[in-house]
């Protein structure tokens, strides 16, 4: 993937991927072959695509193994494309018979063709911002001493007084650095150091000073400015609203940064077979305008849905007055809320060993009012939920909004759904809520979670098998760049292996089969965006959004699937990526 090497940050992430994702060579993906999902799942994906166009096809892809992901998971050999739609699917003979003089033929040479992959939880706008920060990633940085050494090196090359921004993934004892630990090597440069997952960060003393944060600064609703025994800030910030108080002091992002992120991000995604994505963290008018500009300039090569996030109660006004963009390549999908943070601040029913367990990121009363208003717009609401209490509070909010103003199939969404109780699963099903799961959280944080959450709680970690058995619509996503891995191949391999960085398997009974992972990354993700009639499977009348794989992914090891390449990506029958 050449686009991956276009900056130093990317190279390091690639190296990190190799160092961490690929250390397993022998374990087959999918811990065991579990019974595939029930009839409940199949009912979800009965679809009514557009009428099929007549006449000869513009394009035929033949002589392949076509994994259609239709209702019966049919395998075919060939696909005919007319305009931007799939005209027909079937054997070589049946499809060849449709050929006309002007029909273009692609010989798949036995390669696998799948529906275009859909990532329903991606943060495109962060790509360039991440490039402005220095990666402190494994294998180079896994301890505080290594972080300090690298920081000292940056200090030596940076003019005094200039900001240094970085992000890390693992530190010993899983403790974010304190201001003193960073002051030691950076007394004269303000430093902002985030965890890659994005919900906690650390500032040194000079950064705190520039942001005007003292012991008198109050914690915002749902955020923590950590204090030491003397009441002074330690430099550690948890949850976005607290982090934003510090981030307000950072230098403004460069002009055009978001615009470029959207363009570069789509190229990365197209190269891994993605044809549609949902950007679920679009914050601020400039970000939304950047999307509009990319769309107006004809540079949306993939089909994007944007979900503006509400970080503060006052963001509601902006959300309610937002222009509803509704086109084939860019549309307003709905809204995003976050009701807790990452592992250490998951909002749970039982205490855990992280930083805070009993604090949602919103006051519940305000949260429910906001939810009610967003539901009343007629659009979908997606909520980041880590802990089981976060899931329950969100279900309460969904249910109250839906009861107050019933409408058919609002299809609200829980993002991540880190921990869910059996009772919650029943409610999720009854309320028609979709789960958009980030399986690589287990890879990224499973070892740490095993330290801070009880054994009993870990048994409820990303219980995908229970969700499927309950008939809940399931999508999987990368959550990139809040995880280090943006490819759907990594997400699928994670859902199938559930392996932590130390190669421990968490909850093997919840491993998905390849077919289930592919469905969650195609039909499941299409359903999560109300697109099941036009995307997610290879069926006549659906959009010709397709991916050709270099090798058959259906029986690969973890390592092979993580590395699996896509040769060709088509959106609406047009090539958006080819080797």
- The mark string for 294-333 relative to Zn ion (x by CB under 5 A, - otherwise) is ----------------------------------------
Which tokens is 231 given? 């009441």
Nearer to Zn ion, 479 or 545 (CB): 479
Please write down the HEC assignment for all residues of 162-220. CCEEEEECCCHHHCCCCHHHHHCCCCCCCEEEEECCCCEEEECHHHHHHCCCCCCCCCC
Segment interacting with Zn ion, rule: CB under 5 A, options 35-43, 202-210, 453-461, 481-489:
481-489
* Closest CB 204 distance from Zn ion, rounded Å: 27
Name the β-bridge partners of 434.
413
* Closest CB 340 distance from Zn ion, rounded Å: 12
- b or e along 410-430 (b: 16 or more beta carbons within 10 Å of the residue's beta carbon)? bbbbbbbbbbbeeebbebbbe
Nearer to Zn ion, 415 or 539 (CB): 415
Nearest residue (beta carbon) to Zn ion: 479
Say whether residue 437 binds Zn ion (CB under 5 A). Answer: no
Do residues 410 and 397 touch, judged by C-beta distance below 8 A?
no
What's the chain's length in residues?
Answer: 579
Say whether residue 279 binds Zn ion (CB under 5 A). Answer: no
Q: Is the peptide bond before 481 cis (omega within 30 degrees of 0)?
A: yes
Nearer to Zn ion, 482 or 491 (CB): 482
Rounded CA-CA distance 517/9 in Å is: 29
Segment interacting with Zn ion, rule: CB under 5 A, options 291-299, 458-466, 468-476, 479-487:
479-487
Which tokens is 329 given? 């390549």
* Closest CB 240 distance from Zn ion, rounded Å: 11
Nearer to Zn ion, 420 or 482 (CB): 482
The single residue among 58, 181, 479, 545 that binds Zn ion, judged by CB under 5 A, is: 479
Number of residues that bind Zn ion (CB under 5 A): 2
Q: How far is CA 252 from CA 213, 391, 405, in A?
A: 19, 35, 41
Nearer to Zn ion, 197 or 470 (CB): 197
Rounded CA-CA distance 359/344 in Å is: 11
Segment interacting with Zn ion, rule: CB under 5 A, options 165-173, 222-230, 283-291, 474-482:
474-482
Nearer to Zn ion, 95 or 385 (CB): 385
Rounded CA-CA distance 430/409 in Å is: 11
Nearer to Zn ion, 70 or 479 (CB): 479
CB neighbourhood size of 293 (10 A): 14
* Closest CB 385 distance from Zn ion, rounded Å: 11
Rounded CA-CA distance 52/34 in Å is: 36
Name the β-bridge partners of 134.
166
Q: Is the peptide bond before 139 cis (omega within 30 degrees of 0)?
A: yes
Segment interacting with Zn ion, rule: CB under 5 A, options 44-52, 70-78, 452-460, 472-480:
472-480
Nearer to Zn ion, 415 or 545 (CB): 415
Report, in angstroms and rounded to the nearest whole number, the Rg of the chain calculated over CA atoms.
23
Q: What distance lies between CA 247 and its chain's CA centroid?
A: 23
DSSP tally for the chain: helices H, then strands E: 21, 25
* Closest CB 416 distance from Zn ion, rounded Å: 8
Segment interacting with Zn ion, rule: CB under 5 A, options 298-306, 389-397, 480-488, 525-533:
480-488
* Closest CB 362 distance from Zn ion, rounded Å: 17
* Closest CB 478 distance from Zn ion, rounded Å: 9
What does the angle CA 374 – CA 380 – CA 381 come to, to the nearest 5 degrees?
60
* Closest CB 547 distance from Zn ion, rounded Å: 23
* Closest CB 140 distance from Zn ion, rounded Å: 25
* Closest CB 182 distance from Zn ion, rounded Å: 26
Nearer to Zn ion, 479 or 563 (CB): 479
Nearer to Zn ion, 226 or 437 (CB): 437
Q: Site residues (CB under 5 A) for Zn ion? A: 479, 482
């Amino acid at each position: 993937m050449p686009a991956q090497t276009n900056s130093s940050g990317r190279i390091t992430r690639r190296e990190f991927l190799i160092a961490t994702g690929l250390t397993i060579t022998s374990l087959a993906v999918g811990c065991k072959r579990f019974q595939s999902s029930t009839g409940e799942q199949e009912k979800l994906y009965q679809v009514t695509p557009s009428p099929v166009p007549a006449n000869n096809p513009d394009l035929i892809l033949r002589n392949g193994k076509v994994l259609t992901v239709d209702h019966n998971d049919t395998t075919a050999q060939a696909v005919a494309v007319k305009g931007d739609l799939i005209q027909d699917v079937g054997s070589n003979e049946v499809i060849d018979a449709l050929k006309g003089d002007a029909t273009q033929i692609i010989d798949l040479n036995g390669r696998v063709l799948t529906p275009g992959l859909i990532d329903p939880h991606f943060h495109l706008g962060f790509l360039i911002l991440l490039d402005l920060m220095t990666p402190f990633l494994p294998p180079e940085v896994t301890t505080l001493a290594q972080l300090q050494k690298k920081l000292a090196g940056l200090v030596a090359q940076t003019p005094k007084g200039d900001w240094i921004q970085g992000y890390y993934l693992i530190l010993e004892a899983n403790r974010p650095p304190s201001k003193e630990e960073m002051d030691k090597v950076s007394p004269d440069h303000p430093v902002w150091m985030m965890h890659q997952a994005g919900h906690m960060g650390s500032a040194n003393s000079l950064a705190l000073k520039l942001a005007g944060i003292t012991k008198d600064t109050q914690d915002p609703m749902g955020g923590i400015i950590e204090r030491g025994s003397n009441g002074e800030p330690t430099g550690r910030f948890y949850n976005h609203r607290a982090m934003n108080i510090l981030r307000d002091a950072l230098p403004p992002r460069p002009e055009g940064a978001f615009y470029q992120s959207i363009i570069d991000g789509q190229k990365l995604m197209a190269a891994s077979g993605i044809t549609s994505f949902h950007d679920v963290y679009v914050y601020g008018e400039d970000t939304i305008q950047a999307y509009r500009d990319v769309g107006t300039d004809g540079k949306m090569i993939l089909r994007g849905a944007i979900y503006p996030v509400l970080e503060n109660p006052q963001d509601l006004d902006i959300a309610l007055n937002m222009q509803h963009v509704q086109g084939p390549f860019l549309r307003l999908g709905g809204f995003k809320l976050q009701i807790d943070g990452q592992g250490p601040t998951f909002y749970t029913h039982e205490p855990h060993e992280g930083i805070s367990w009993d604090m949602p990121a919103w006051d519940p009363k305000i949260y429910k009012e906001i939810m009610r208003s967003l539901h009343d717009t007629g659009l979908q609401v997606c909520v980041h939920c880590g802990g089981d209490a976060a899931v329950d509070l969100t279900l309460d909010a969904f249910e109250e909004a839906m009861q107050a103003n019933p409408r058919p199939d609002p299809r609200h969404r829980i993002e991540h759904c880190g921990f869910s109780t059996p009772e919650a699963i029943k409610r999720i099903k009854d309320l028609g809520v979709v789960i958009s799961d980030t399986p690589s959280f287990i890879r990224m944080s499973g070892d740490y979670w095993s330290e801070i959450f009880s054994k009993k709680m870990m048994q409820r970690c990303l219980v995908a098998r229970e969700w499927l058995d309950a008939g809940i619509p399931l999508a999987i996503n990368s959550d990139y760049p809040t995880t280090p891995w943006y490819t759907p191949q990594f997400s699928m391999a994670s859902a199938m292996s559930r392996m932590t960085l130390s190669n421990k398997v968490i909850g093997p009974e919840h491993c998905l089969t390849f077919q289930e992972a592919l469905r969650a990354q195609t039909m499941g993700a299409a359903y999560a965006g109300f697109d099941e009639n036009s995307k997610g499977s290879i069926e006549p009348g659906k959009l010709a959004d397709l991916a050709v794989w270099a090798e058959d992914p259906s029986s690969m090891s973890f390592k092979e699937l993580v590395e699996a390449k896509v040769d060709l990506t088509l959106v609406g029958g047009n090539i958006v990526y080819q080797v």
